[in-house]
Amino acid sequence: MGKDGFSKCHPAVNFLFFVGAIVFGVLFQHPAYLLAGLLCAGAYYLLLCGQKALKSMAMMLPLFLIIAAINPLFNTRGEHILFHLFGRPYTQEALGYGFAVGSILVITLLWFGCYNRVMTEDKFTALFGNLMPALSLLLVMVFRLIPALLYKSKQITDARRCIGKSGENLTFRQKISSGMTVLLALAGWSLESGILTADSMRCRGYGTARRTNFQVYRLHLSDWVLLAALALTAAVTVCGAAVGATEAAYVPVFTAAPVSVFLPVYCIFLLIPTIIHIKEVVLCRIFISKI
């Protein structure tokens, strides 16, 4: 995919949008709002990552189904019993709540995936480096920890496979032992990497004076317009939540607030990055066609 238009905005615009999208995605349990969150987050994630997003989303589907299926085993509340499993009722309402919890998890993962693509380390440190240098450095290390661990685990697994200590021909016990070895290696590597990063930044004088950025970020008129649009749609969404438009209960009886005008406003808030991305792609193709 080409350069994302939303990524070109000021880091404050990017950060505030993702904070709002993730917070709303976690708090709202209404089925309509969950569906809107899944569709909008999935669409933007597809635009950002292309075909790689399909593989990631395919891996999220089993997790979503497992969470939905497991929840009724622990939560047996509900009026409509589908069947009995291990002597416990498996209720329709608990299954619906499991789908809601799974949807919240998937929405959060999708938005964090988009966040990692848009909010780079340089943007985050440019935004918070002068306000809270130690915390900003810590958060940057935490945000990049999971991608770094996945990449490092692949390296370790490939190296062990080359020397015959990892592969499909191992027994179950050997696979468990191999996995524990990789996990211990990752733990040691992450601790060592954190110490080296902290020592390196201390030697460079990080946090002792006002820092400069590799790229200077300035708020332009378009950024102010986007901030106003985000603030307006977020405020209307919060008002909708305050009057109960986003409320839903799944157990013991399913109840949900009727869909109102607050839902389209929430969708507009979530679709702002997607609209900007599509607008950038269309304008780019128009300019290329005129060359």
What integer pLDDT is reported at residue 266 of this predicted model? 96
Does residue 115 share a domain with residue 29? yes
Confidence at residue 1, expressed as pLDDT on a 0 to 100 scale: 44
Final residue before a domain boundary, out of 159, 175, 209? 209
pLDDT value for 135: 63
Residue-by-residue pLDDT tens, the chain, 291 positions? 446 889 888 888 999 999 999 999 999 999 999 999 999 999 999 999 888 888 888 888 888 999 888 988 888 887 888 888 777 888 888 899 999 999 999 999 999 889 888 887 778 777 766 666 666 666 666 666 767 777 788 888 888 778 777 666 667 777 777 778 888 888 888 788 778 877 777 776 766 655 555 556 788 899 999 999 999 999 999 999 999 999 998 888 889 899 999 999 999 999 999 999 998 888 888 878 776
Instruction: Check whether residue 254 and residue 178 sit in a common domain.
Output: no
Beta-bridged to residue 81, according to DSSP, are 91
- Omega before 273 within 30 of 0, i.e. cis: no
Structural domain range at position 146? 131-209
Confirm whether 1 is domain-assigned. Answer: no
Cα four-point dihedral sign 126, 128, 134, 139: negative
| 264 and 143 housed in the same domain | no
Task: Say which residues have a Cβ less than 8 Å from residue 13's Cβ, sequence separation at least 6.
Answer: 6, 223, 226, 227, 230
| Within a domain: 243 | yes
Say if residues 47 and 144 touch (Cβ distance below 8 Å): no
Handedness of CA 132, 134, 135, 139 (dihedral sign): positive
Residues 184 and 241 in one domain: no
The residues, ordered by sequence, that sit 6+ positions from 240 with a Cβ below 8 Å of its Cβ are 246, 260, 262, 263, 265, 266
Residues 82 and 197 in one domain: no
Residue 14 burial (10 A CB sphere; 0-12, 13-18, 19+): buried
**Domain final position from 155, 177, 209:** 209
Residue 182 to residues 141, 155, 167, Cα–Cα distance (Å) = 21, 10, 13
Q: What is the pTM of this model?
A: 0.75
Is residue 52 domain-shared with residue 192, that is, in the same domain?
Answer: no
Q: Cα(130)–Cα(109) distance, rounded to whole angstroms? A: 29
Q: Which of the listed residues 166, 186, 209 is the one where a domain comes to its end? A: 209
In single-letter form, the type of residue at position 246 comes to: T
Residues 160, 84 share a domain = no
Is 90 within a domain? yes
The total number of structural domains in the chain stands at 2
- Are residues 283 and 168 part of one domain? no
Q: Within 10 Å of residue 188's Cβ, how many Cβ atoms? A: 10
Question: Would 97 be classed as within a structural domain?
Answer: yes
pLDDT, residue 129, reads 63
In a domain, 11, yes or no: yes
- 178 residue type, one letter: S
Helix 11-27 and helix 92-118, axial crossing angle in degrees, nearest 10: 170
pLDDT of residue 2: 47
Domain-located, residue 149: yes
Same-domain status, 106 and 231 = yes
Residue 112 and residue 22 share a domain: yes
Residues 14 and 137 in one domain: no
CA angle in degrees (0–180, nearest 5) for 158-163-164: 90
Tell whether 41 and 117 lie within a shared domain.
yes
